[in-house]
Amino acid sequence: MQLTDIKSPALKSWIQQWSDLCTPDQVVICDGSKAEYDACCNLLVKAGTFIKLDKKPNSYACRTDVSDVARVEERTFICSETKDAAGPTNNWCAPAEMRVTLNGLFKGCMAGRTMFVIPFSMGPVESPIAKFGFEITDSPYVVANMHIMTRVNDSIIAKVDAGAEFVKCVHSVGYPLAANQPDVPWPCAPIDKKHITHFPETREIISFGSGYGGNALLGKKCFALRIASVQARDEGWLAEHMLILKLTSPQGEVKFVAAAFPSACGKTNLAMMEPNLPGWKVETIGDDIAWMKFGPDGRLHAINPENGFFGVAPGTSMKSNPNAMRTVNQGNSIFSNCALTLDGDVYWEGMDQTPENCVDWQRRPWKKGSTAKAAHPNARFTAPAAQCPVIAKEWEDPAGVPISAFLFGGRRANVVPLVNEAQDWEHGVFLGATMASEMTAAAIGGAGQLRFDPFAMLPFCGYHMGDYFAHWLTVGANAPDPSKLPKIFYVNWFRKNEAGKFVWPGFGDNARVLKWIFERCSGKGQAVATAIGNLPAPDALGLADLGITAADQQLLLTVDKDGWLAVLPQIKAHLEQFGSRLPKALAKQLAALEARLKA
């Protein structure tokens, strides 16, 4: 397809405007075909960016520039019309000022390169919950990864020609080539030139200078959370940083659960877990993002807007996440900043077997026992979700799946019990708003200080987080049938005893907690009302079967009132940063919690 074949004046003029500014050698409209994907991968192999793997079919490894390895939150901006609209947790820049900066950076930035125009859908193309986007990029690495992570399809052009809305995404690696100038394997711009910018009112994302991850794959956090959260607020739905699970009981009863956890809290592992309870089945709808709207049945229905997994590789193994390993071992995957074994495979820390020798992510020889990391801590795999052996049959249902429960959580060695059921929707929003993990002694603030990450959305909410809390409360208040709202729970897999040992085994045994949550959603499951919410009754989880001592069972299933009272000042300070935008309902929840703890 050529630019002249596009009928939508808005789409055509937008592409032409950026082509005129960026001056690429050519413009290619992507069609999402396998031939296109293979051509991009072959181009990247010839450029020295990709290395084809011998041990995994149709898979490639790449190693980035050492300055371009992760999200750059300090260079990520919400360019809302006013600073107050962005709120205290986002970097803000005035839209007009940022556009001047970006116009200067993008002028001529694609010289010597091809401009790719990627039409993509977040979610099944025909889903009423899905949204469309177009990403302009000069990176074939982005094209290949977007093929896996989104539904790239030129039929979306016809939908936009017919009037469908779309989010405008523009990306450049920021490395123009002069005539006869050789390229480098990983082109990118210096850190002070990198900009990942979002314009909520005009539904635009403009990213410059980074070729990696969510900085460049603009369908991911930029669209699916930062811009989509604004769309969700304006249109009355939810765009959340949540996995989606399908749970099936031994009796064949099915429930769907969505869960939000900060990084390093076992989110991907839970999404693909193998339950240790006989007869129970856990399947995956999505591992990272959930978009939810009320369906005709009055329940919140969720889709996974993504088409693939962009998972952190280090720590992933047959023990921690066997289904993720089985997914990537099928091939058709891209591995970024992993180590390369001498027999043509990838390696990262935490794998089940460690090679004697390999080449690390910075192209240096590495030997077993070395203190240096072979893979970068943020090394990633991009793999098709359809390859996951426990992907649920409903994962591409356009109507989405009905959610019975939300799970929130953090990494807390103390105070927080294993699982806690909110008293009601408003209390559940309070639990999500006060999600936190403990900092280590090495972190600024020291041990015992909490790092709050409300709803696991701190880096990803596209507007003022006080208004975001209010939106959650509004969704509950406007539910067609409040009795059908999902129940809300808070879990903590990371409680430790006085010896510093983890009390809960985690992994497949998390199914015991999911079973209790399942039962609570069915009006069953024994619980004890406490000052913080409803905790499982002493025998509800079968903890004795796991060999957990009576003292450790106490830690998991009781309320440490003194511990809660000790952290209340931190919770208060966290909520106070939202000022007058903090919903009064959450201030009341905090006061009520304090009163119950002191009773």
Which strands, in side-by-side order, build the sheet including 357-359?
346-347, 339-341, 357-359, 365-367
Strand partners, 530: none
Task: Give the whole-angstrom CA distance, residue 586 versus residue 455.
Answer: 14
Among positive and negative, which fits the CA dihedral 144, 150, 155, 161? negative
Q: Residues with catalytic annotation?
A: 265
3-state secondary structure of 150: coil
Contact 211, 138 (CB under 8 A): no
Contact 578, 88 (CB under 8 A): yes
From its phi and psi, is residue 122 left (phi > 0), alpha (psi between -120 and 50) or beta? beta
Contact 108, 201 (CB under 8 A): no
Strand 50-52 to 60-62 pairing: antiparallel
Would you state the structure tokens that stand for residue 297, as one six-digit string? 């049945």
Would you state the structure tokens that stand for residue 391, as one six-digit string? 């992907």
Contact 568, 595 (CB under 8 A): no
Contact 259, 242 (CB under 8 A): yes
Task: Give the whole-angstrom CA distance, residue 422 versus residue 527.
Answer: 12
Among positive and negative, which fits the CA dihedral 405, 125, 198, 477? negative
Task: Give the whole-angstrom CA distance, residue 284 versus residue 522.
Answer: 21
Reduce the secondary structure of 123-139 to three states and give it as a string: CCCCCCCCEEEEEEECC
Strand partners, 239: 291
Burial 371-410 (b: 16+ CB within 10 A, else e): eebbbbebbbbbbbbebbebbbebbbeebbbbbbbbbbbb
From its phi and psi, is residue 174 left (phi > 0), alpha (psi between -120 and 50) or beta? left
Strand 401-409 to 254-260 pairing: parallel
Q: How many angstroms separate the Cα of 413 from the Cα of each of 33, 100, 260, 314, 369?
A: 48, 47, 18, 22, 30
Contact 476, 486 (CB under 8 A): no
Would you state the structure tokens that stand for residue 428, as one six-digit string? 């559940």
DSSP 394: G
Within 8 A by CB and 6+ apart from 352, the residues are: 317, 318, 319
Task: Give the whole-angstrom CA distance, residue 280 versus residue 510.
Answer: 12
Burial 514-548 (b: 16+ CB within 10 A, else e): bbbbbbbbeeebebeebebbbbbeeebbebeeeeb
Contact 435, 456 (CB under 8 A): yes
HSE, CB side, 13 Å, CA atoms: give it for residue 414.
Answer: 18
